[in-house]
Amino acid sequence: MRFTIFAALLLATALLAGPARAGDSPALTVEKARLTLQDLTTDPNVVGPVADYLKKAKGVLIIPELVKAGLIVGGEYGTGVLVARTGPGNWSDPAFYSLTAGSIGLQIGVEAKQILLVVMTEKGLNSLMSDQLKFGADASVAVGTIGGGVGASSAGSLGADFIAFAKSKGLFGGGALDGAVIKTQPEQNEAFYRTAASPKQILIERRFTSAEADGLRNALSKY
């Protein structure tokens, strides 16, 4: 029994640390974000009106893989990109972010999620221009699910700064994002644009662009 628990702890720790060590290039992260967007907006099991939210969005943060692992104390980590709307069907180039969350409880298992965080308000978008945002303290979030039989309700999402849709694979299910922390990834921005670039310069001022983001922008152009 002790060996089983110890093995589970080692597996959970390794999987939780995996995304941080994986070393995906920024260009690969952008391509994974495009595939995630395509997957979550075309899944036949989608219940929540994801496309409707995207058409009203100020921006969208796409996390291709949020990995959760835990033994009593759990945690989640993933990296992704934020793009901002600049007009009907027009979107900015991406800025890079990470999302980290933790939980405490009786849990053994691992889970990977694809996450769409749809930015619904100017407050929500502006809050992402700082180095760090914490849900529940700096911005509000309503959670919907994809393929789980429940969509984000209009009552639950009314006035929320973010609407989160998650598609999960693993032993954990559900869960809220209150307390989760989103941080900027300046080193990823610099690697992608080959110069120092802040989220505001990328998303709002549009001072930087890259042909490697064309596929993602084209995928968003219908919204």
Nearest to 194 by CA among 93, 70, 107: 93
Q: Which is it for strands 141-145 and 162-170: parallel, antiparallel or unpaired?
A: parallel
- pLDDT tens-place string over residues 88-101: 889 999 999 999 87
The tokens for 96 are 């890079």
Q: Read off the pLDDT band of 185 (50, 70, 90).
A: very high
Give the pTM: 0.80
- pLDDT tens-place string over residues 62-94: 999 988 765 545 578 899 999 999 988 899 999
Nearest to 82 by CA among 26, 39, 19: 26
Nearest to 98 by CA among 111, 117, 85: 117
CB atoms within 10 A of CB 53: 21
